[in-house]
Structure 1
Amino acid sequence: MTGHSEEDTSQSMKGCRGEKRVSFPPDEEMVFDFVEIKTALQEADCLTLTDIILAYKQNCEKHHVNPSPKALDQLKVQWSERLDYCSCESLEEILKSVQFDFISLQGAELEENGASSLLDMFLYYESATHLDVSSNSGMGFSGWLSLSHLLRQSGCLWRLDACNMPMVDYAAQALSKALLTSRLTVLHLENTCLSGKPLFTLVGALKRNAALQELYISDNNLNGYQDSMQLGDLLKYNSTLRTLDLSNNTISDTGLEEICDALSIQKAGLRMLILSNNHITHHGLIHLHNVLPCLKTLETLNLGNNNLENRGIHTLKESLMINHSLLQLGLASTGITCEGAVTLAEILAENLQIQCLDVRHNQVLAGGLMALSLALKINHSLIRLDLDQNLKEKEEFLIETQKMLLSRISDLCIVNAVAAKGTALQPAPPSPPNCSETTSQPHPNS
C-alpha cells in the first residue's frame, strides 16, 4: 500500500471540492461520424423510379406494412386509402427521394400519430408546394401541431387545402398561429364549420398576415351578423388579400353592408369577390351601389344564385356605369327577365371595361337578347356573354329570332376578342412627359 503525504491529500481534497479540469481532443478527432441530408438529396437525383420503389418496399418490410398501391401507382402521391402510423413511416423512402408539386392526402383517414409523423417528414424533406389534407377529421392535436410547424417553417409550400372537416378549437388555434408568419398564398377551408369562434380566431391572425392572397371559405354557414363583422375587419386590415370566396353561405343583405363598408376604406383592394348563393336580395344591393364607384381594384364580382330580380339590376345600374375596374360580372340565376336584360344593355353601352358577363339560368327571351345585341354594336370590351342556349320562346318566328340573336351576340363577342388580342400584341405607347412616376405595378401573381 503506497502512502500519501499530507500535501497530496490536501490537493486531492481540493480537487474534489470543485477544481475540475476539462481537455478536448484535437479538432480532427472530435467528430467521428456525421450524416448530411443535402448529400442524400443530391444522390437521390440519380435514382431511377425502380430504385425508389425498391427502397420503399424495403422500408415497408422494415415497418411490417404492405406497400400502398396508390404510392406505387407511378408514385402519384394522392392517397385516398387509410394510412396508419406504420404506413406513414414507410413513405419516408419516397419522400426523401422525390419532391412533388402536389401531394393529396384527401380522405386518407389519417390518425394523430401518423399525421404528425408524415407532416414532419414533409417539412424535413420540403416535399411539396401544394398540400391537400382535406377530409381527415382524425388528425388530432399532434397532427395539427405538426401542420402548424410545416406552415411556419416550409420554404416552398404555397397552397394548403384543409376542407371538409370541423375546425375545432385546437385546429383553429394551430392554423392561426401558423398564419402569422406563414408564406402560404392560397388557403382552402371550404366546409369546415368556421362560423363563430373559429372564424374570429382565423381573422385575428389574417389581419396581421402579409402573404395570403387567396382565401376560399365557402359552405361554412357564415351569417350576416358576427361572421360578417369579422369578414369586414379582415378586409379593413389585411392588405394582401386579392381573392375572397364566400359562396354558399348566409351573408344576406346585412352582411353585405358590413363587407361594402370595409371595401370602401380598403387601402389595397380586393380583386375577386364571390358572393354567389348568399341569400342576398335587391334590398342589399344599395350598399354595393354606394361602394362600386369608388372601387379601383375589384375586377371580378359574382352575385349569382341570389334573388336580385330586375329591381336589383336597376339598383346597380348607375354605379356599374361609373365603375372602371370591374372586368367580370356574374349574374346567373338571379331572377332576371327581359326587363333586367334591357338594363344590362344600357350598362354595357356606357361601361367599356367589362369583358365577361354571365346571365345564364334567367328568363331572358328575344326582347332582352335584342337589347344586348344592340349594346354590343357600341360596346367593344365585352368578349364573353354567357346566355342560355336552350330556346325558351314558344312561337316559331320568335324561336328563329332567338336563334339569330344568340348567333349575332356570339359573333360580336368574337370580334371584340380578336380586336382585344390584337391590341394586346401591339407595343404599349410611350408615356407622356408629364406622366406620374408612381404608376402602380401589377401584383406578381396577377
Structure 2
Amino acid sequence: MTMSDHAEEEEVAHRLGGKSRREKRVSFPPDEEMVSGYAESKDARQDGDSRNLSDIISAYERSCAKHKVAPDPRTLDQIKEITCLTNRARCLDLQGVRLDYRMCESLEEILKSVRFNLINLQGAELEENGASSLMDMISYYESATHLDVSSNTDMGVSGWQALSRLLIQSGCLWRLDACNIPIEDYPAQALSRALLSSRLTVLHLENTGLSGKPLFTLVCSLKKNIALQELYLCDNELNSFHDAMQLGELLKYKRTLRTLDLTNNAISDSGLEELCDGLRVQKSGLRTLVLHNNRITHRAMTHLGSVLPLLRTLETLDLSDNDLQDRGMHVLKEALISNRSITRLGLASVGITCEGAVVLAEFLAESRFLQMLDVSQNLILTGGLMAFALALKLNRTLAHLDLDRNPNEEEDEFLIETQKDLLSRISDLCAANAEAASEMDRGSAALFNHDDCDGKDNSGEAVARRVPAQTLASA
C-alpha cells in the first residue's frame, strides 16, 4: 500500500463525512482482492488533476477493465464532447443504461475529474449496492447540481440512505427528480429526514404514491424546511380529505414555497377548500398553483373566489381540465377583477360556452395585469370570439389568448368566415399588446441605463399601465 492503514482509514472516513472511522465505504475489486488504492482528495480533483479528456477516457476504460465491465459507448461519446474541464459540463446522460454495482464503481474515474449540471439516472436499474456507491461518489465529488433518479425502484435501504446523505451534505445540489418510484415507509422517512436541512430548491415527486402517511411524513419536514421553492406532486392520487388537509397545512406554514403543481390528482371541491384555507393564511409567497385535472367543479369556485382578492403574489393559476362550466366563470369574475397579481390563467377544457367566454371578456376589459389566457378546448363559437375581440380593444396587457384555431361547430358558411376573421383580429390585438409591452421594457431599460450614467437614484417604484375603466358593453 502507498499509505499506512491508519491514514487510509482516516481518508475514507473523511470522504463519507468525517464523523467516524467506522463510517467508511471500501470498494472491493470484482475478484475480491485486497484494496490497493485510496480515495483521492477533493482538492486534487478540483485542481483538474492535471488531466485532459484523453487521460479521463483512458482512466475510465482501465477502471471498466478492472471491474470487468464494458465501457458504455454513450458515456464515452459524452465525455469526448466536453469542451472545458474547469466549468461544469452540461449533462451526463445515463438514462436507460443498466448500472449494476460494477458499472457504478467504474464511473468514479469520470466523476473525480468532471462535474456536471445534470446527472440523469432515469431507468438505470440501480440496485442497492450500486445506488449506495454512486450516491456517495456524487456527494463526495459534488458531481451534480441537478440529479434525476426517476424510475429506479430497487435502490433499497442503503441506496435511500446514501441519497439522504447526499441531500444533506451537498452544497451545490439544487434539484432532485425522484419520479415513478414508490416512496413509502423507509424511502419517505429517508427523504423527509434529508429535507429538514437540504439545500434543494426544486423537488419533483410525480407518480410516487405519496398519498396518506408518506405525504404526512413529507409535509412535517417541509414545514421546517427553509430552502425548497418548487414542489411537483403530479399523478399521486392525492385525495380531497387527508391529503388536501396536509397540503393546506403546508401552505399555512411554509412561506418560501413559490410553485405547487398538483396536476392529475383528486383534490376535488372539498380539497380545494382546504387549499384555500392555507392560501388565506399565507396570502403572499406562492406564485404558481397548478390544479389541472383534479375533479374540481363550479361549486368550489366560491372558495377560490373568496381568497383570490387576498393573494398578492400568485402569478399563475391553472384550472384546466376541471368541470367549471359557465357557472364557475360567473362566480370567479369579480374575484379575478379584484386580484392584482395573476398574469397567467389556464382554463382549457373547463366546459365553458359563449356565455362563459362573455364573462371572461368582461374580466379582460377590466384587467390591467393578465398577460396569458388559455381557453382552448371549450365550446366557444362566434359570440364568444366577438366578445374577446371587443374586450381586447380595451385591454392593454394580454399578449397570448389561446383559442382553438379551427372551430368546427358552426355550419353556416358566413359564421365560419366570421370566426376566421375574429380569430385573426384577436391575434393582431394580442400581438399589438405584446409589442407595446416590449417597447415599454426597452424604454424602461434605456431610462435606467441613462439614470445610471447620470448617477441618479433608481429606487422609484414601477407604475402599472392603466386601462380606461370602461365596460365591454360600452365598447
Band of TM-score, shorter chain: 0.7 to 0.9
**1:107-163 Cα distance to aligned partner (Å, 9 max, x none):** 000000000000000001000100000000100010011000000110110000000
SS in 1 for 2:281: coil
- Who is 1:278 aligned against? 294
Q: Return the alpha-carbon distance in structure 2 between the equivalents of residues 192 and 415 of structure 1.
A: 44
Q: Return the alpha-carbon distance in structure 2 between the equivalents of residues 101 and 358 of structure 1.
A: 33
Q: CA deviation at 1:438?
A: 12
1:417 and 2:422 correspond: no
* Residue in structure 2 matching 1:66, options 67, 70, 80: 70
Q: Structure 2-normalised TM-score?
A: 0.82
Note closer, same or farther for the CA distance 1:397–1:124 as it changes in structure 2 (3 Å cut).
same
**1:147-188 Cα distance to aligned partner (Å, 9 max, x none):** 000001101100000000100211001101111110000000
Q: Return the alpha-carbon distance in structure 2 between the equivalents of residues 144 and 223 of structure 1.
A: 26
Q: CA deviation at 1:412?
A: 0.3
Contact 1:333–1:362 (CA under 8 A) maintained in structure 2: yes
Q: CA deviation at 1:376?
A: 0.1
Q: CA deviation at 1:362?
A: 0.5
Contact 1:148–1:177 (CA under 8 A) maintained in structure 2: yes
* Residue in structure 2 matching 1:42, options 44, 47, 56: 47
SS in 2 for 1:284: helix
1:394 and 2:411 correspond: yes
- Who is 2:377 aligned against? 361
SS in 1 for 2:373: strand
Q: CA deviation at 1:92?
A: 0.2
Contact 2:284–2:314 (CA under 8 A) maintained in structure 1: no
For residues 41-120 of structure 1, what are the structure 2 equivalents within 5 Å?
41-44=46-49, 46-75=50-79, 77-79=92-94, 80-120=96-136
For residues 137-148 of structure 1, what are the structure 2 equivalents within 5 Å?
137-148=153-164
Q: Return the alpha-carbon distance in structure 2 between the equivalents of residues 358 and 34 of structure 1.
A: 55
The aligned length equals 402
Unpaired stretches in structure 2, ≥5 consecutive residues: 1-37, 80-90, 449-458, 463-475
Q: Return the alpha-carbon distance in structure 2 between the equivalents of residues 126 and 319 of structure 1.
A: 47
Answer with 387-396 or 136-145: which moved more.
Answer: 387-396
SS in 2 for 1:77: strand
Contact 1:244–1:274 (CA under 8 A) maintained in structure 2: yes
Identity %: 63
Q: Return the alpha-carbon distance in structure 1 between the equivalents of residues 252 and 182 of structure 2.
A: 27
Contact 2:284–2:311 (CA under 8 A) maintained in structure 1: no
For residues 19-418 of structure 1, what are the structure 2 equivalents within 5 Å?
36-44=41-49, 46-75=50-79, 77-79=92-94, 80-266=96-282, 268-392=284-408, 393-418=410-435
- Who is 2:455 aligned against? none
**Which residue identity does 1:373 align to in structure 2?**
A
Q: Return the alpha-carbon distance in structure 2 between the equivalents of residues 222 and 202 of structure 1.
A: 13
Q: CA deviation at 1:35?
A: 5.7
**Which residue identity does 2:376 align to in structure 1?**
R
- Who is 2:471 aligned against? none
Q: Return the alpha-carbon distance in structure 1 between the equivalents of residues 435 and 287 of structure 2.
A: 25
Contact 1:85–1:117 (CA under 8 A) maintained in structure 2: yes
SS in 2 for 1:74: helix
Q: Return the alpha-carbon distance in structure 2 between the equivalents of residues 65 and 366 of structure 1.
A: 66
- The root-mean-square deviation of aligned C-alpha atoms, in Å, is 1.9
Q: Return the alpha-carbon distance in structure 2 between the equivalents of residues 394 and 159 of structure 1.
A: 51
Contact 1:239–1:267 (CA under 8 A) maintained in structure 2: no
Structure with bigger gyration radius = 1
Contact 1:206–1:238 (CA under 8 A) maintained in structure 2: yes
**Which residue identity does 2:404 align to in structure 1?**
D
SS in 2 for 1:306: coil
Contact 1:263–1:269 (CA under 8 A) maintained in structure 2: no
Q: Structure 1-normalised TM-score?
A: 0.87
SS in 1 for 2:439: helix
SS in 1 for 2:118: strand
Note closer, same or farther for the CA distance 1:253–1:141 as it changes in structure 2 (3 Å cut).
same
Contact 1:254–1:284 (CA under 8 A) maintained in structure 2: yes
Contact 1:131–1:160 (CA under 8 A) maintained in structure 2: yes
Q: CA deviation at 1:43?
A: 3.4
Contact 2:122–2:152 (CA under 8 A) maintained in structure 1: yes
Q: CA deviation at 1:439?
A: 8.1
Answer with 72-81 or 323-332: which moved more.
Answer: 72-81
Q: CA deviation at 1:36?
A: 4.0
Q: CA deviation at 1:39?
A: 2.3
Contact 2:283–2:312 (CA under 8 A) maintained in structure 1: no
Contact 1:144–1:174 (CA under 8 A) maintained in structure 2: yes
**Which residue identity does 1:135 align to in structure 2?**
S
Note closer, same or farther for the CA distance 1:418–1:439 as it changes in structure 2 (3 Å cut).
closer
Q: CA deviation at 1:269?
A: 2.2
Contact 1:376–1:412 (CA under 8 A) maintained in structure 2: yes
**1:322-360 Cα distance to aligned partner (Å, 9 max, x none):** 111110000000001111100000000111110000000
- Who is 1:4 aligned against? none
Unpaired stretches in structure 1, ≥5 consecutive residues: 1-32, 431-436, 441-446
Q: CA deviation at 1:34?
A: 11
Note closer, same or farther for the CA distance 1:36–1:78 as it changes in structure 2 (3 Å cut).
closer
**Which residue identity does 1:57 align to in structure 2?**
E
**Which residue identity does 1:48 align to in structure 2?**
N
Note closer, same or farther for the CA distance 1:260–1:54 as it changes in structure 2 (3 Å cut).
same
